[in-house]
A and B are shown apart, each in its own frame.
Chain A
Amino acid sequence: MSESGTSPKIQTTIETGDEDRRDAPLDARETVIETRDLDVYYGNEQALDGVSMEINEHDVTALIGPSGCGKSTFLRCINRMNDMIDVCRVEGDVEFAGKNVYDDDVDPVALRRKIGIVFQKPNPFPKSIRDNVAYGLKIQGYDGDVDERVEESLKRAALWDEVSGQLDSSGLELSGGQQQRLCIARAIAPDPEVILMDEPTSALDPVAASKIEDLIDDLAEEYTVIIVTHNMQQAARISDRTAVFLTGGQLVEYDDTAKIFEDPEEQRVEDYITGKFG
């Protein structure tokens, strides 16, 4: 039943993905993030093992794999959120726009202003909706019209219609799905170049999740989106390219989403996608 129910959907997404690709041929897209031989250790435990990967501008790139495979670790390496974990050690290169983000002269604060992140569990600050969205602008010393940017961001996060009348009420009063869209609005308000999403829909109900998925599709027009998900159908629906991580923190296969889901090179990937493993 699930087979017949899902496969057409995968089909359509793959088609749209292919259309996109036809519109903008692969070599016309620039690589925005490139990792080379990325190893990450938590203490003595290795979480990522020699990951090399190129991520294209304005792509939606999905990272999938069983839990504990290192996909979230990889995501958090990109904007150096792992710096906050004392035992975490990173080796190898992560290049953003041609610059290794682990170079000494790179300020993680500046980096994160270019590469925003949305977390698994919605985490709005206990402030008003307006202040939540304006927070990033405030700390970055934005000197334009804040209200205008707040409105614009909320519109882009498809939340404006629902909250336009209650901008001064607390962000914690919203429903879970609304909170997550608020967090997305908050992340895009300072206009980053890349948005990282760490399983953004896994704490939400299916209706709220589908709204976020639609949103991600729109966001890809302006931003590069990298999304970690454990939901393979979601990856198939929304992403242009998919990276499969398997246990041990290895990147096993990375290709166009259509290729990964229809004809993966690796047997292990096929096993994982068809549910034989993981």
Chain B
Amino acid sequence: MATEESTSDGLGRSTALRLQHLKGRLFEVALVAATLVGIVSLLALFAQISIDAFQPGSASPTWFLVYLGTLVAPTAAFTLYARRRPAVRETNAKAFAAVFGGLLLSFVTYAVVDSLSPYDVFTYVFFTSLPPAIVVAYDRTTDDRTFTGPAIPASIVVGLAVAALLYDVVRGPIGIAAEWIMYFGLVTVPAALLIGTLTASRRGRRSGVVAGGSVIVGGLAVAVASIVTGTNAAFPVVLFSAFVVPTGYVLWRSVRTDPEGRVGVAGPFVLLGGTLLGAAVVGQFGIQNPDTFLTPTLLLESWDGLRANNAGVYPQIVGSIIIVGFMAVLAFPVGIGAAIYLEEYAPDSGLRGRLATLLEINISNLAGVPSVVYGLLGLALFRRTLGFGTGIVFSAAGTLGLLILPIVIVSTQEALRAVPDALRQGSYGMGASRWQTLREVVLPEAIPGTLTGTILALARAIGETAPLVIIAVATTKYSPPSGLFSSATALPLQIFAASANAKPEFRHGVVPAAAVVLLILMLLMNATAIVIRNKYGREH
């Protein structure tokens, strides 16, 4: 009755309207399906690749039960507990970042320095950091700071030149020292300085000196202990200085300053403890492990194309990290500089305004140039014009640097554009110059956005294959690159080369495992970028 009435009013749903609404609902369902189809098919493929890499079918059911009890259940319970309490959740996230970030930092530092030779790295780092250190020290003692700003980058260049000139003279004497002393100088000393400065800024100069000093003493103690027990002191020193000290500092501060959330610190240890406990139980009772291909061998050995259980991608992983790291050194300053010019300096009109428009169009076009064409550019530039050797780290990093340059520029531009104009006006109103405004006001605001963009660019670069194939980077290498001018290798190249191998233990084993490693690296970078974006993105 009521329906009839409303139909006669024309306000209810007539048949035609009902059909229209049905059409609308079907449309929405179709949209959801379309949005999900790509994501779901990719997830299915990821699942396939992970199953091949991990081989869960080969483990006994008890194995799953053990890890369910020691690892999955406690971690899940803790995560659920933390999710309900914002303070705990935040500390938990921080602790995870600190623990795994510290571990990752230690491994990467050790692997990279080890393959490049600790003596060489130490020599160059020492000579390039000494002059700027002197400038900074001078800056502290004087009131006239007109010259110190430009002097810092200039002194770095001078230091680099001095290092190159004196290399042959200095390298010999330095080589006499034990290896761990190099790592001590490269990692422990900066860690001590960092902790010392942080403590000094909070609790006064004396505490700072004590904190820094104790890091130095601790590092020495670790070295002595390792030497006494007869192990190589290098890695323990790195682990202590790049993991134990910074992670300990962050966790200790959370515990001290945040009584509400301090339970969250336990998060990563529940995870690590669960893993270790599970392994102990499995070992004790002889439970069947899965025949996984994601093994320490994969991460630490070099590739043996014949037997799958010997195959590893250590040289490729380290090679990728070195290439991408050096690429960042080359491309980021230029990319950020270009973005600053376009957003903050370039005028809107006139001849230079038109130049800026041209630059913008050019940059968006460069972003669309196929990566394989950048390979040809790298080939022509580094091999033909500069006469570098085939497939060396420098060429690979330079080529990828040119490739990601537009990405860095565009994302930095967006970050700068998001800084409200009122802040700039405020700074100019106080009598600051353009450069001072940039350095003190605009850039600090734009850092999170810039960071997001640059990390995404790194993630893109680490998976890039085609340009490396074109500049003929080697796939089969048994050791990581030993310097910027030694021949490079990269993880994606190994996957490309090995995809032709039809042996099942490769095709459905080691290669998927290598792919999982690459995917994890790339997803970690993406996740970091997203976390930074979500954390700071809401501020403006």
Q: Which residues of A contact B13 (CB under 8 A)?
A: 105, 107, 110
How far in angstroms is the closest Cβ of chain B from A105? Answer: 5
Q: With contacts A96-B11, A97-B9, A99-B11 known, is A110 near B17, CB below 8 A?
A: yes
Interface string of A99-129 (1 = CB under 8 A from B): 1010101110111011000000000000000
Q: With contacts A96-B11, A99-B11, A114-B11 known, is A107 near B3, CB below 8 A?
A: no
- B14: interface (CB < 8 Å): yes
Between B3, B12, B14, B21, the greatest number of chain A beta carbons within 10 A of the residue's beta carbon is seen for B12
In the complex, the answer to whether A105 meets B16 with C-beta atoms within 8 Å is no
Between A96, A110, A111, the greatest number of chain B beta carbons within 10 A of the residue's beta carbon is seen for A110
- B10: interface (CB < 8 Å): yes
Q: With contacts A96-B11, A110-B11 known, is A105 near B17, CB below 8 A?
A: no
In the complex, the answer to whether B16 meets A111 with C-beta atoms within 8 Å is no
Q: With contacts A105-B2, A105-B3 known, is A99 near B9, CB below 8 A?
A: yes
| Total interface residues in chain A, CB < 8 Å | 15
Q: Which residues of B contact A96 (CB under 8 A)?
A: 11
Q: With contacts A103-B6, A105-B3 known, is A141 near B12, CB below 8 A?
A: no
* Complex Cα spacing A96 to B3, Å: 16
Partner of A101, one of B11, B14, B16: B11
B3, closest chain A residue (CB): A105
B20, closest chain A residue (CB): A109
User: From residue 1 to 50 of chain B, which have CB atoms closer than 8 A to chain A?
Assistant: 2-3, 5-6, 9-14, 16-17, 20-21
Interface string of A73-110 (1 = CB under 8 A from B): 00000000000000000000000111101010111011
In the complex, the answer to whether A105 meets B12 with C-beta atoms within 8 Å is yes
Partner of B10, one of A103, A105, A110, A141: A110
Number of A-B contacts (CB under 8 A): 37
Interface string of A53-66 (1 = CB under 8 A from B): 00000000000000
In the complex, the answer to whether A114 meets B16 with C-beta atoms within 8 Å is no
Q: Which residues of A contact B5 (CB under 8 A)?
A: 99
| Total interface residues in chain B, CB < 8 Å | 14
Interface string of B440-484 (1 = CB under 8 A from A): 000000000000000000000000000000000000000000000
* Complex Cα spacing A210 to B2, Å: 45
Partner of A106, one of B12, B16, B20, B21: B12
Q: Which residues of A contact B10 (CB under 8 A)?
A: 110, 113-114
* Complex Cα spacing A126 to B447, Å: 39
A115, closest chain B residue (CB): B11
How far in angstroms is the closest Cβ of chain B from A34? Answer: 14
* Complex Cα spacing A97 to B6, Å: 11
Between B11, B14, B17, the greatest number of chain A beta carbons within 10 A of the residue's beta carbon is seen for B11
Q: Which residues of A contact B11 (CB under 8 A)?
A: 96-97, 99, 101, 106-107, 110-111, 114
* Complex Cα spacing A103 to B12, Å: 9
Q: Which residues of B contact A105 (CB under 8 A)?
A: 2-3, 6, 12-13
Which residue numbers of A lie inside 8 Å of B, CB to CB? 96-99, 101, 103, 105-107, 109-111, 113-114, 141
Which residue numbers of B lie inside 8 Å of A, CB to CB? 2-3, 5-6, 9-14, 16-17, 20-21
Give me the 10 closest cross-chain CB pairs, A-B, nearest first.
Answer: A106-B11, A107-B13, A105-B12, A99-B9, A105-B6, A110-B11, A111-B11, A99-B11, A110-B17, A107-B17
Apart from A103-B6, A109-B20, A113-B10, 17 more pairs, CB < 8 Å: A96-B11, A99-B5, A99-B6, A99-B9, A99-B11, A105-B3, A105-B6, A105-B13, A107-B12, A107-B13, A107-B17, A110-B10, A110-B12, A110-B13, A110-B14, A111-B11, A141-B16
List, sorted by A's number, 22 A–B pairs whose CB atoms are closer than 8 Å: A96-B11, A98-B9, A99-B5, A101-B11, A103-B6, A105-B2, A105-B3, A105-B6, A105-B12, A106-B11, A106-B12, A107-B13, A109-B17, A109-B20, A109-B21, A110-B10, A110-B11, A110-B13, A113-B10, A114-B10, A114-B11, A141-B16
